[in-house]
């Protein structure tokens, strides 16, 4: 006789078997879902940005390697032709060295400076190739047209410092020292003085191009430059005092052409604005 009667109770011995059969029944009873026609989610923007950043970094690495190769090439050329250009650097001055390592420091400093100056056009070209895809059409056209002018102004500034500022300030300071001291000029101090009176002037002579670029993108106008003329002259005086030897003659020799370049920048920007206004009136 069944001890559980008609109550349809499950024997403890059969519980495990029933529990194992129930999931299979549920799976068989479950209807398969129709295939989804929803479109696949688009690629996240962050992944696209990461790929773009990686491409930019790869391009930057390529241009930096090219720049380093060009610089090292000119460094080797300059160092191997040391005896040829050395008299133009020394200018007949009697220099002394204060230690064996100062010879290496002198040759390395002047060779690296000359190599940088000779490789500058190539470096500008490599930088231009890197930044060109990210520039707007107006900015790219401006830099493409005025890059040669920027290089010429840089060379003009260095020539101004080499032929005018450096010899005048050097003779002035040496004459002041000879009044009360026995003057001995070390090679390291001389090359430091030469670099200080040439390279910064090459950078300052870029002022008209920088002003013209800011004007082309709407940041600067001739009227705004006229309004801040007094403060600009004060800033130029401070800059000329910082980048030149601590004597009044050198500062004055730098300040005068800087003021002339500032006025030239105002004139160029004003002419550009007048030409742009004339073109707009013709179109209207």
- pTM for the full model? 0.71
Token readout for 124 is 């500008």
* Residues constituting the chain: 284
CA 157 to each of CA 152, 206, 246: distance values in angstroms, whole numbers, following the listed order: 9, 9, 20
CA dist 140 and 216 (Å) reads: 11
Task: Please state at what angle helix 166-178 crosses helix 187-196, rounded to 10 degrees.
Answer: 140
pLDDT along the chain (284 residues), means of 10: 51 50 47 53 57 78 92 93 89 87 88 89 81 72 75 90 90 88 89 89 88 82 91 90 79 89 91 84 75
Question: What pLDDT score was predicted for residue 160?
Answer: 92
**Which phi and psi angles does 27 have, rounded to 5°?**
-65, -40
User: What does the H/E/C string look like for the chain?
Assistant: CCCCCCCCCCCHHHHHHHHHHHHHHHHHHCCCCCCCCCCCCCCCHHHHHHHHHHHHHHHHHHHHHHHHHHHHHHHHHHHHCHHHHHHHHHCCCCEECCCHHHHHHHHHHHHHHHHHHHHHHHHHHHHHHHHHHHCCHHHHHHHHHHHHHHHHHHHHHHHHHHHHHHHHHHHHHHHHHHCCCCCCEEHHHHHHHHHHCCHHHHHHCCHHHHHHHHHHCCCCCHHHHHHCHHHHHHHHHHHHHHHCCCCHHHHHHHHHHHHHHHHHHHHHHHHHHHHHHHHHHHHC
Domain ranges in the chain are 54-275
Question: What pLDDT score was predicted for residue 163?
Answer: 93
């Amino acid at each position: 006789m069944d001890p559980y009667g008609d109550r349809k109770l499950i024997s403890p011995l059969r519980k495990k078997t029933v529990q194992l059969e129930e999931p299979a029944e549920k799976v068989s009873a479950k209807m398969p879902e129709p295939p989804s026609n929803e479109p696949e989610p688009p690629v996240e923007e962050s992944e696209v940005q990461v790929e773009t950043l990686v491409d930019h970094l790869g391009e930057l690495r390529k241009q930096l390697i090219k720049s380093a190769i060009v610089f090292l090439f000119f460094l080797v050329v300059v160092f191997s032709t040391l005896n040829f250009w050395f008299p133009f650097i020394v200018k007949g001055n009697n220099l002394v060295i204060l230690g064996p390592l100062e010879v290496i420091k002198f040759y390395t400093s002047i060779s690296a400076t000359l190599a940088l100056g000779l490789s500058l056009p190539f470096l500008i070209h490599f930088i231009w190739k890197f930044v060109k895809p990210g520039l707007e059409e107006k900015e790219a056209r401006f830099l493409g047209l005025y890059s040669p002018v920027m290089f010429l102004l840089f060379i003009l500034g260095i020539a101004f410092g080499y032929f005018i500022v450096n010899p005048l300030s050097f003779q002035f300071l040496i004459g002041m020292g000879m009044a009360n001291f026995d003057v001995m000029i070390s090679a390291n101090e001389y090359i430091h003085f030469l670099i200080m009176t040439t390279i910064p002037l090459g950078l300052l002579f870029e002022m008209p191009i920088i002003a013209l670029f800011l004007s082309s993108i709407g940041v600067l106008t001739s009227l705004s430059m006229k309004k801040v003329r007094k403060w600009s002259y004060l800033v130029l005086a401070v800059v000329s005092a910082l980048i030149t030897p601590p004597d009044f003659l050198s500062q004055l020799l730098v300040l005068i052409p800087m003021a002339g370049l500032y006025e030239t920048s105002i004139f160029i920007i004003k002419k550009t604005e007048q030409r742009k206004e004339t073109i707009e009136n013709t179109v209207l």
